[in-house]
Amino acid sequence: MTTRLLDAIRQRPLLGDGAMGTQLMLAGLEQGNCGEEWNLTHPDKVLAIQRRYAAAGSDCILTNTFGGSRIMLNRHGNAEKVAEINEAGVRIAREAFGGRPGFVIGDIGPFGGLMEPFGEFKEADVLAAFREQAKALVDAGADAIIIETQTSLEELGLGITAAKEAGAACVIGSLAYDVTLDGSTFRTMMGVDPERAAEFLEERGADVIALNCGTGMDMERARQAVARYRAVTNLPVMAQPNAGQPRLVNMKVVYDETPEQMCTGVKPLLAAGASIVGACCGSTPDHIRAFRREMDEFIHENQTV
């Protein structure tokens, strides 16, 4: 029996996964190299990371396809492998669950540039790239598509359109907010605030409104973003904050928030109305295991008899 993701989150909150990029680096991927290509060249390493998330209790695993659009893959000479890389991404994530129920969320990140008139990319080319990637992910059996780490509504809108056209059963739109210099609020690099993003996503027909990554967006800021989403929309909300702030130590980016620190924010996030909680850059299977414990306690404490 298969339950759809949107039906599942009506029953109980779901646990997402943690970082992929920083885990791939730990597994030997060099900065600047194509992590998505590892779906073909090192599938065992990608699978090992995702198995650790599944073992930690993730209900949802994102495919290793963040930079899997033609425009991103072209930078690594992999433009002709879009279908192959995305299909492999879905297959590996599914395999990570080892036959137990779990949701594979097809991951689409930013195309990595600016559109006209600010940059050189034509809107039609960006839409075509998202369409191609979304179709590959859906055809391979992804349960949902997430368009994530988005900062502009124009690009986000193209991703949502592409995912819906591809026939995704669930479309998630996720924005990356940065805390403002004075610390009073947060908005995306392109100046979008959570209320505007939620209204826009609802208009475009997204099924879940999300936030991920961002600068200074700790668990408390993520809780605030969830609350602000919930104040303007009834759609389910997903949150994947980073494991604290990135710092450069010996030319390596490190994230400071331990699983013990970060997991204290899980229950407040759920109480604010988050339906899916995962984590972004710097988080590890240990963070997700700690999240699992908190989420299970929350579900238990809030069970209606």
Counting contacts by CB under 5 A, is residue 222 touching Zn ion? no
In order of 97, 120, 160, the CA distances from 117 in angstroms are 44, 7, 21
Is residue 281 near Zn ion by the rule CB under 5 A? yes
List Cβ<8 Å contacts ≥24 apart for 31-36.
33/76, 34/67, 34/73, 34/75, 34/76, 34/78, 35/64, 35/66, 35/67, 36/64, 36/65, 36/66, 36/67, 36/68, 36/72, 36/73, 36/78, 36/85, 36/89
Contacts of 238 (CB under 8 A, 6+ apart): 16, 146, 172, 174, 208, 209, 210, 211, 274, 275, 276, 277, 278
Q: Quick one: CA torsion of 134, 35, 93, 194, rounded to 10 degrees? A: -60
Q: Which stretch binds Zn ion (CB under 5 A): 51-59, 101-109, 263-271, 280-288?
A: 280-288
| Residues 17-76 contacting Zn ion, CB under 5 A | none
| Candidate ranges 78-86, 140-148, 162-170, 273-281; the one touching Zn ion (CB under 5 A) | 273-281
- The least CB distance from residue 203 to Zn ion, in Å, is 26
Least distance to Zn ion from the beta carbon of 22, Å?
8
Per the CB < 8 A criterion, the answer to whether 90 and 99 are in contact is: no
Q: Min. distance of Cβ 277 from Zn ion in angstroms? A: 15
x/- mask, Zn ion, residues 195-214, rule CB under 5 A, reads ------------------x-
219 binds Zn ion (CB under 5 A): no
Which one, 13 or 282, has the nearer CB to Zn ion? 282
Of the candidate spans 7-15, 83-91, 151-159, 279-287, the one that interacts with Zn ion by CB under 5 A turns out to be 279-287
CB 101 → Zn ion: shortest distance, Å?
Answer: 26
CB of 212 to Zn ion, least distance (A): 6
Site string for Zn ion, 103-142 (x = CB under 5 A): ----------------------------------------
Sole binder of Zn ion in the list 47, 243, 280, 290 (CB under 5 A): 280
Pairing of strands 252-255, 246-249: antiparallel
Specify the stretch interacting with Zn ion by CB under 5 A; choose among 121-129, 222-230, 252-260, 272-280.
Answer: 272-280
Minimum CB separation of residue 23 from Zn ion in Å reads 12
Contacts of 66 (CB under 8 A, 6+ apart): 20, 21, 35, 36, 107, 108, 109, 148, 149
Number of residues near Zn ion (by CB under 5 A) = 3
Residue closer to Zn ion by CB (options 170, 279) is 279
Query: What single DSSP character describes residue 111?
Result: -
Closest separation in Å from C-beta 242 to Zn ion: 5
Answer left, alpha or beta for residue 234, where phi above 0 means left and psi between -120 and 50 means alpha.
Answer: alpha
Contact positions toward Zn ion, by CB under 5 A?
213, 280-281
